[in-house]
């Protein structure tokens, strides 16, 4: 076992084998479900070699490692004596559970998809250089790796998702291969028990087989319960497949096709109405925020569906590569501006890591701490994404920067040239923005000495409590983005009342669609964020009633949002209300006051 000692140490520091209920992984992190979170020593884990950071939230205890997590995960399972079908706690809502299932099903096969994409890029290079012909047998043999990957996608899905859904893997693969058989896949005029079947092409798709596997898991468990042990070996699989296949053909095949086509129509509508350039621009600018929130994988099913139905992806594939390179550029700008040797080494390492496609070290190591790099990436990534979007750049397979040649596609060299141009612009602009936005330590000290003085001394602005309740330090909040001060200084309140009020006069500049967060900006430029509860975005606005709208001007103590905190707590969410000054760095000091609700936070100008 290559990572045996590392795995043993991780298990020890999360509280031992007996404290682990489940452990799964995504692209870069291990996600533990622990019986007692207090037994885990997060600081000791952070200090380990190969560990980038630790993120602890309501759903899971996450250890961010990097792409080698795919090798580490099975070894940790072996050390724990667990099988890979172990599951996380089901505290999240149904939409979150579905997205997690799809993401965790597709993540293990991404490396294989990228492998197929890199082979396609190599073949493009060889044909361009004249070494082999696209009509030769050699080309067709190696190109079959790419075509087979997507044609047999349902089979890969079955192997990846079966255990997660409680299905024996080979039984799940039997369902997938049956759907791909020449007697069913794309065949017209079929009927089952006299019921006409729609013509459905199951190859290069994943939603129908995933729905079928979900149903198969339910059937398998039920049949296993009623089947005598002496007959279980033969007749449980038999009855399961006999029940599942007809339901899949009659119900889940059409539903899966409608969902798949629906996703295609949605993004086609966006492209036709607003232009796909808008999606590319926004995602290339905002990807680091999604990574920080643990939501970076939500696009995977959309991208896979685009490749399966259209043969290309004109939105997210170009955007994520541009964004990764913009992160590298921003960190390069910080590297060039930094004077301290340790800072230069730090930012240089983060820039190289992002260039290689691993941006988590930069996001959690620098972006969360300094915040300004987010703006550098938004500027550079946004401009690069805008160029790619306006020039209609298409990704023909899932890949990284090193699979750039796959953008040639079907001899579409302009597509490659446009992508290279977008990458260069995104990288260079982000580097310049990072260089400009950086404030060296000496200059920070100079800025802090420029204090406004009035006749009564320092110029101060006072914020009252946004909700009645017990005040607690921000450090005690169970959300790393707030407790570390990464989003600004402030205070938190354990609410005793359901009415959230304005702590200061100003304009409502933002109201999150789920109504769990609201932003106010004063005439003096103070930016106040009120965040209601931890992870309450998952409630999708339920139990939150907005009393104002974006653009409204409010006075102190004006009602903003009414919240049913009893229901929020009943759903298992922490109701803590958090108030921070998001532009803390613009002021001399932000001082929380734990004892006076009429002066809960003081901003010293």
pLDDT in tens, 380-421: 999 999 999 899 898 887 777 777 877 887 777 888 899 999
How many residues in total does the chain contain? 605
> What pLDDT is recorded for position 267?
67
> What pLDDT is recorded for position 329?
92
In the CATH scheme, what is the code of domain 4-91? 3.30.1360.60
- Mean pLDDT is lowest, of 43-52, 293-302, 346-355, 421-430, for 293-302
pLDDT in tens, 69-127: 778 888 888 888 875 444 444 444 566 667 667 767 777 777 787 787 778 778 877 88
**In the chain, domain spans:** 4-91, 96-264, 274-443, 457-604
Do the bridges between strand 577-581 and strand 29-34 make them parallel or antiparallel, or are there none, so unpaired?
unpaired
Q: What is the mean pLDDT of the chain?
A: 81
Do the bridges between strand 589-592 and strand 601-604 make them parallel or antiparallel, or are there none, so unpaired?
antiparallel
Q: Quick one: which of 335, 457, 322 has its CA closest to 384? A: 322
> What pLDDT is recorded for position 275?
66
Percent pLDDT > 70 in the chain is 86
SS3 of 264-290: HHHHHHHHHHCCHHHHHHHHHHHHHHH
Give the three-class secondary structure for 200: coil
CA distance 60 to 413: 45
pLDDT higher than threshold 90 for residue 160:
no
pLDDT in tens, 512-559: 778 888 989 998 889 898 999 988 877 878 899 999 988 899 999 899
pLDDT higher at 299 or 453: 299
> What pLDDT is recorded for position 455?
37
pLDDT higher at 394 or 484: 394
> What pLDDT is recorded for position 31?
80
> What pLDDT is recorded for position 108?
75
DSSP-assigned states of every residue in 117-139: HHHHHHHHHHHHTTSS-TTSHHH
Non-local (6+) Cβ contacts of 375 within 8 A are 433, 437
The residues that are catalytic are 26
pLDDT higher than threshold 90 for residue 65:
no
- Mean pLDDT is lowest, of 175-184, 271-280, 596-605, for 596-605
pLDDT in tens, 365-380: 677 667 788 889 999 9
What architecture is the 457-604 domain classified under in CATH? Distorted Sandwich (2.70)
Q: Quick one: which of 192, 214, 210 has its CA closest to 202? A: 210
pLDDT in tens, 180-239: 999 999 898 899 888 999 888 888 778 889 999 999 999 999 998 898 888 888 899 999
DSSP-assigned states of every residue in 418-457: HHHHHHHHHHHHHHHHHHHH---HHHHHHHHT---EETTE
Percent pLDDT > 90 in the chain is 25
> What pLDDT is recorded for position 485?
72
Q: How confident is the model at residue 596 (pLDDT cuts 50, 70, 90)?
A: low
Q: How confident is the model at residue 443 (pLDDT cuts 50, 70, 90)?
A: very low
Q: Quick one: which of 312, 316, 324 has its CA closest to 278? A: 316
pLDDT higher than threshold 80 for residue 313:
yes
Q: How confident is the model at residue 288 (pLDDT cuts 50, 70, 90)?
A: confident
Q: How confident is the model at residue 454 (pLDDT cuts 50, 70, 90)?
A: very low
pLDDT higher at 440 or 300: 300
Non-local (6+) Cβ contacts of 461 within 8 A are 504, 522, 524, 526, 602, 603, 605
This prediction has a pTM of 0.49
pLDDT higher than threshold 50 for residue 457:
no
- Mean pLDDT is lowest, of 171-180, 219-228, 488-497, 585-594, for 585-594
What backbone phi and psi angles, to 5 degrees, belong to 564? -90, 85
């Amino acid at each position: 076992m290559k990572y045996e000692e590392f795995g043993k140490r991780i298990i020890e520091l999360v509280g031992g084998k007996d404290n682990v209920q489940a452990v799964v992984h995504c692209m870069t992190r291990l996600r533990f479900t622990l019986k007692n979170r207090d037994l885990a020593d997060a600081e000791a884990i952070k200090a380990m070699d190969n560990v980038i950071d630790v993120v602890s939230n309501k759903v899971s205890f996450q250890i961010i490692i990097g792409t080698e997590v795919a090798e580490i995960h099975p070894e940790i399972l072996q050390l724990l004596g667990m099988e890979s079908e172990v599951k996380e706690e089901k505290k999240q809502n149904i939409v979150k559970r579905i997205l997690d299932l799809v993401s965790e099903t597709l993540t293990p096969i991404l490396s294989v998809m990228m492998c197929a994409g890199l082979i396609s890029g190599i073949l493009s290079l060889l044909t361009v250089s004249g070494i082999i012909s696209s009509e030769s047998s050699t080309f067709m043999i190696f190109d079959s790796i790419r075509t087979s990957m997507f044609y047999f996608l349902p089979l890969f899905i079955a192997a990846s998702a079966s255990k997660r859904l409680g299905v024996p893997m080979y039984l799940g693969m039997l369902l997938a291969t049956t759907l791909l058989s020449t007697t069913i896949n794309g065949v017209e005029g079929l009927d089952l028990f006299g019921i006409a079947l729609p013509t459905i092409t199951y190859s290069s798709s994943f939603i129908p087989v995933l729905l079928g596997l979900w149903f198969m898991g339910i059937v398998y468990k039920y049949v296993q319960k009623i089947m005598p042990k002496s007959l279980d070996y033969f007749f449980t699989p038999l009855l399961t497949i006999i029940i599942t296949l007809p339901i899949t053909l009659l119900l889940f095949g059409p539903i899966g096709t409608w969902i798949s086509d629906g996703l295609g129509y949605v993004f086609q509508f966006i492209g036709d109405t607003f232009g796909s350039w808008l999606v590319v621009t926004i995602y290339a600018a905002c990807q680091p925020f999604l990574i920080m929130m643990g939501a970076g994988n939500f696009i995977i099913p959309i991208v896979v569906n685009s490749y399966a139905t259209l043969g290309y992806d004109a939105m997210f594939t170009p955007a994520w590569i541009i964004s990764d390179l913009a992160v590298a550029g921003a960190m390069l700008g910080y590297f060039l501006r930094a004077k301290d040797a340790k800072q230069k080494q730090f930012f240089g390492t983060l820039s190289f890591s992002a260039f290689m496609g691993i941006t988590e070290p930069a996001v959690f190591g620098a972006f969360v701490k300094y915040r300004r790099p987010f703006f550098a990436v938004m500027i550079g990534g946004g401009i690069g994404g805008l160029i790619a979007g306006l020039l209609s750049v298409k990704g023909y397979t899932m890949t990284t920067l090193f699979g750039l040649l796959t953008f040639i596609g079907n001899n579409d060299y302009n597509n490659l040239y446009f992508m290279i141009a977008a990458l260069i612009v995104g990288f260079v602009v982000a580097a310049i923005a990072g260089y400009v936005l950086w404030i060296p330590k000496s200059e920070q000290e100079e800025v802090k000495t420029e204090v406004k003085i009035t006749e009564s001394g320092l110029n101060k602005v006072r914020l009252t409590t946004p909700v009645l309740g017990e005040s607690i330090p921000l450090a005690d909040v169970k959300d790393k983005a707030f407790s570390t001060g990464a989003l600004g200084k402030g205070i938190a309140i354990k609410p005793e009342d359901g009415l959230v009020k304005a702590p200061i006069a100003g304009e409502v500049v933002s109201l999150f669609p789920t109504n769990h967060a609201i932003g106010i900006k004063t005439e003096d430029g103070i930016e106040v964020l009120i965040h209601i509860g931890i992870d309450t975005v998952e409630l999708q606005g339920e139990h939150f009633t907005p009393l104002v709208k974006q653009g409204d001007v409010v006075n102190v103590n004006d009602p903003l949002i009414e919240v049913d905190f009893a229901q929020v707590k009943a759903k298992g969410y922490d109701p803590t209300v958090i108030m921070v000054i998001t532009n803390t760095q613009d002021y001399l000091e932000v001082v929380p006051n734990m004892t006076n609700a009429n002066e809960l936070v003081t901003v010293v100008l």
